[in-house]
Structure 1
Amino acid sequence: MIQIPPLTEQLLAELGEELGGCDFTSEDQQRFLSATESCDVQAAPGNGKTTLLVAKLALLSRSWTSRKRGVCVISHTNAAREEIEKKLATHSLASAFLAYPHFIGTVTGFIDRFVALPYLRGLGWGVQRIDDDVFGAIGGSRWRSKPALVTYSEINKGINKRRLEEFVRKLELSEEFVCEAEIPPQRLKVSARAGQPSPQRPTGQALEELKAEITNDGFYRFGDMTALAQQAITRFPEIIQRVRARFPLVLLDEAQDTNGAQLALVNQLFAEGVAYQRLGDQNQTLYEDDDLTPDDYWRAAEDAIPLNKTRRFGTDIASFASRLTVRAPQIIEGVEDAPSRRSLILFDRNSIAGVLPAYAGEVRAYWGQDPGAHLDIRAVASRHNPAAAGRGDWPKTLIDYCPQYRSGRGRQSRPDTLCSVLRQAAILHASHGSPAEIADLMMSGLVILLRHHGVKDERGELATKRSISSILQRRDPKLQLKIRRLMRDRVVLGASAWNEDDWSQLRDELKSLLGMDALSDAARQYLEFVGHGATAAQGERASTVFIHEGMEIKLGSIHSVKGRTVDSILVVETEVWRGTSRDQQAMDLATVLPHAFGLENKDFSANAAQLAAATNVFVAVTRPRKVLCCAMRKIAASDELVAAARAQGWNIIDLTLL
């Protein structure tokens, strides 16, 4: 079924030309291109893994004839999926893999489409939203309705309350849950977590009741879909054979980011009977779960195909990054004779405001006074959302470097409020998101508000995305347009989502337009202003961009640049937080740079926070083509570290001396 034509010099040259002048002469590249059996690929950052994957599809397109069996390409993120689709769309033959019988999508999308959602519909369950944050917010607003949970929360001087809130936020279906089709469950078995009350106790029973209530309303965690899928293939093993028959070749991209029950499920689906080829980089394992063990993550097989060459950066950055391949040691081979600029910026509390301007100066030192708007210039941090003050070290987050920065997301953003939803829409606009996605986000928030207020359609059913237009039309033919203009002026172009006074004005105007004089309790709570993460002054808007003398520096988390190639990056030192004890916290650059510069050989695997710090820094420093900067506290930079950096060609900018 899987036929790869012989990789002659002529064919490889044709393939390279079809994909924009790529070179596929490496022996390890050809091992993957010609592989028709299961295999693993350990790929260094910037090696052209996605292009290589598309090249394999281009080869297959020359011989693939089946109209019923296809290739399944799954990745962890939508960004990776979109990159694959974009490359395929430009190839005359390989573009056929964008349509049936093939599948290109995320792991979650694959599990939902082919296993979980069909099974869920068979149970008679509805779906409103699949989202961890939304589920956690709903659970957080409902647990007080359970007397057993309230009693539990009042024990142990508040410690139990914090534990309970964490249990509720992560209430996830166990694959062993029991229910009858078409009958709303009264209790649902949930996955046991360390310290969580057992279902034999009233508190554990109340948690299962709460899970059932939220599920009956159509809200799920992403992990619930995996549990549903696992139960489905356990009860009906023929599903596995049908999936394997449909997809004789499966390509798992970003394998390092698929973990836990999700990875176990995918491995079970494709354990045999198909060519299951996994591509990833263990050293970029960013998506970690405290409840998982090291064995729950993807590890490349011992005979994995190594892709050591990078096409992104030169030998200087490659040598520095190779020291940080702490999960799977790998010598990254950089581009020969590719110049770069590397700088270490030192600061203290009095000079931290100068870090971003100093970085702008380093960018200009490489490209000149007018670098050009076409460059992708970034500043990133391990931790970027607002953090509680008074605990841990400093600086805590990216906000310490740029007080106006907000991502609009994170655990504290309270997705159970319209304010938080509109903040996300404002941030999406600021980061040049699509108008359709922004409008959809705003409409979703409006639907939830109407449902909380008990607004129903002509059939007497609560408002949905499908019915909201007709509901608004009945009230006023121009109401939908009025609301869109209000959102545009007050949210997208204004500051209402960020400032309490501005929010009050928006809330009053929206209530007036919708005729909501006497709000229900649920609607009133949904319209509350979210103080956490707000900006200080009226009219002040949050931003994801820092502008210095016309230069635009995009701000964000290290996660936000994963999988990207940028022209320049600044990694600012922040706290990595894995818990309340000191050994669960680490300042990322202070922890990692002594090892990176060769002053010590540290075993990061012994401490979760330190391992996360090393992984974060590795991902960040392997993004830029030309300019790499790190900003750390001067108090954490020893004389030996500064000397080692200088000896390795780094520029030292000490802001405390200016």
Structure 2
Amino acid sequence: MTALAWRALRETPALADRLRDRFPLVIFDEAQDTHGDQLRLLEHVFKHNGAAFQRLGDSSQTLYEDDGAAPAYWTPAPDCIPLDTSRRFGGEIAGFASRLTARRTQTIVGLGSRPASRVMFLFDEATIGGVLGAFAEEARALWGGDCGRRDVWAVASRHNLPGKKGEWQPKSLVDYHPAVGISGLARAHSWKATNDRPITAHNIWPALSHRGLALLPAVRRLLRDHLIAGTAVWEEAAWEAFMEALLPLFGPPPKGSERDIADLCAFLAEQKADLIDPERRSTKQVQFDDLMVRLGSIHSVKAAA
């Protein structure tokens, strides 16, 4: 895209002037996520001839690494205007965050009035499914009987970590809530993936194929007929018919797991997103007794804030 843009500017010299006339004021947010070639293109178009080109960013949050002598990403100039205050959190978190500003030292000031606390959950691949429940317990301990009326979010930033191919690393909130769908049903039956690893949403289909050539297509066919093309999501009778066809494929439940499987396979009434309140648009959520934890990404929550 950058190369095509440069070619358009070379072949149509008046294009830059037309863009500056159309956009005399450009406020460029998240500038630290722009590499050198992109930034040179934008500066060529907007950084002269009377156009106002304002860049906002934090070099400590860049997606890029240093590339030789000059940074490969945008960095603020020495005479930049610092934006050090935030109303999203108080002084305790601000002090902790200030220690993380490695590329450009910054003292962050927190003006928020909400109480802050930091909790660390330790887990491995076999116990990652308990993290959200432990998080819910922390929320319940903080707010007590009032927790059911609060808007509680579990927020994660998706990462693709470098490393050995096949090495297990959590990437998103999907990894923290494995007891859903077909993968949850397989886990409830004490099934394992290859190398005796827990079954997750990422490895469920290979795990089913290893248990018999007919199982995988049979499960997928039921999902297609009853969920995608059928009405099992919306009608309880259709859901019960789906369960009657699906559960025999997994065989009898292990002793002591009958209640868990029944809860997992129970029909849920329809839940619609709230289109008026942006913070309630997501229907991805997990219920822990009276406390509902909404699931989202760091980007969606920042946008709502």
Q: How does 1:73-152 map to 2 (within 5 A)?
A: none
| Shift, 1:504, TM fit | 4.3
Distance in 1 of aligned mates of 2:173 and 2:112: 34
Whether 1:391 and 2:166 are equivalent positions in the alignment is: yes
Offset at residue 563 of structure 1 (A): 4.5
Q: Closer, same or farther in 2 for the Cα pair 1:390/1:283, shift >3 Å?
A: closer
Which residue in 2 is equivalent to 1:147? none
Q: CA deviation at 1:367?
A: 2.0
Aligned residue among 281, 288, 298 for 1:548:
288
Q: State which of 30, 40, 60 in structure 2 corresponds to 1:283.
A: 60
Query: Quick one: which amino acid aligns to residue 4 of structure 2?
Result: L
Partner of 1:401: 176
Give secondary structure in 2 for the equivalent of 1:379: strand
Provide the identity percentage.
41
Task: Verify: 1:501 aligned to 2:221, yes or no.
Answer: yes
- Cα distance, 1:281 vs. partner? 2.1
Q: Give, as a single letter, the amino acid of the residue that structure 1 aligns with 2:293.
A: I
Could you state the TM-score of these two structures normalised by the residue count of structure 1? 0.29
Instruction: Tell me which amino acid in the other structure corresponds to 2:129.
Output: A
Distance 1:267 1:293 in 2: 21
1:402-444 CA-to-partner distances (Å, cap 9, x unmatched) read 11579xxxxxxxxxxxxxxxxxxxxxxxxxxxxxxxxxxxxxx
CA contact (8 A) 1:545 1:554 kept: yes
- Is 1:322–1:330's contact at 8 Å kept on the other side of the alignment? yes
Structure 2 unaligned residues grouped into runs of 5+: 182-218, 231-248, 251-263, 268-282
User: Amino acid of the residue matched to residue 59 of structure 2?
Assistant: Q
Cα offset for 1:234? 1.0
- In structure 2, how many angstroms separate the alpha carbons of the residues matched to 1:564 and 1:256? 21
Q: Which amino acid aligns with 1:357?
A: G
Distance 1:294 1:548 in 2: 50
Aligned to 1:312: 88
Asked whether the 8 Å contact 2:84–2:106 carries over to 1, the reply is: yes
Structure 1 equivalent of residue 234 of structure 2: none
CA shift digits 1:137-196 (9 cap, x unpaired): xxxxxxxxxxxxxxxxxxxxxxxxxxxxxxxxxxxxxxxxxxxxxxxxxxxxxxxxxxxx
The one-letter amino acid paired with 2:54 is: Q
Give, in angstroms, the shift of residue 337 of structure 1: 6.3
Structure 1 match to 2:143: 367
Corresponding position of 2:18: 242
Report how many residues are paired. Answer: 220
Over the aligned positions, Cα root-mean-square deviation in angstroms equals: 4.1
Compare relative contact order (CA 8 Å, sep 6+) and give the higher one, 1 or 2.
1
Cα distance 1:232–1:505, how it changes in 2: closer, same or farther (>3 A)? same
Alpha-carbon distance in structure 2 between the residues aligned to 1:547 and 1:323: 35
Do the aligned partners of 2:88 and 2:112 also contact (CA within 8 Å) in 1? no
Q: 1:342 to 1:295 in 2, by over 3 A?
A: closer
1:228 is aligned to: 4
The alpha-carbon distance between structure 1 residues 392 and 278, as it changes in their structure 2 partners (threshold 3 A), is: same
Q: Deviations over 1:71-118 (max 9, x none)?
A: xxxxxxxxxxxxxxxxxxxxxxxxxxxxxxxxxxxxxxxxxxxxxxxx
CA contact (8 A) 2:65 2:72 kept: no
Partner AA of 2:287 in structure 1: I
TM-score using structure 2 length = 0.58
Change (3 A) 1:379 1:292: farther
Structure 1 residue 341 corresponds to structure 2 residue 81: no
How far the C-alpha of 1:264 sits from its partner, in A, is: 2.6
Separation (CA, whole Å) in 2 of partners of 1:393 and 1:507? 30
Q: Once the two structures are superposed, what CA deviation does each residue of 1:262-320 show, in whole Å capped at 9, x if it has no partner?
A: 3332111012111211122223334x599999734221111100011111111111111
Structure 1 unaligned spans of 5+: 1-222, 407-498, 511-535, 566-658
The one-letter amino acid of 1:500's match is R
**How far apart are 1:332 and its partner, in Å?**
0.6
Alignment of 1:627-642 (within 5 A): none
Give the direction of change, closer, same or farther, for the CA distance of 1:260–1:342 in structure 2 (3 Å limit).
same
SS at match of 2:134: helix
Letter in structure 2 aligned against 1:279 = L
User: Contact conserved, 1:255 with 1:280, CA < 8 A, in 2?
Assistant: yes
CA contact (8 A) 1:384 1:398 kept: no
Give how far 1:256 is off: 2.3
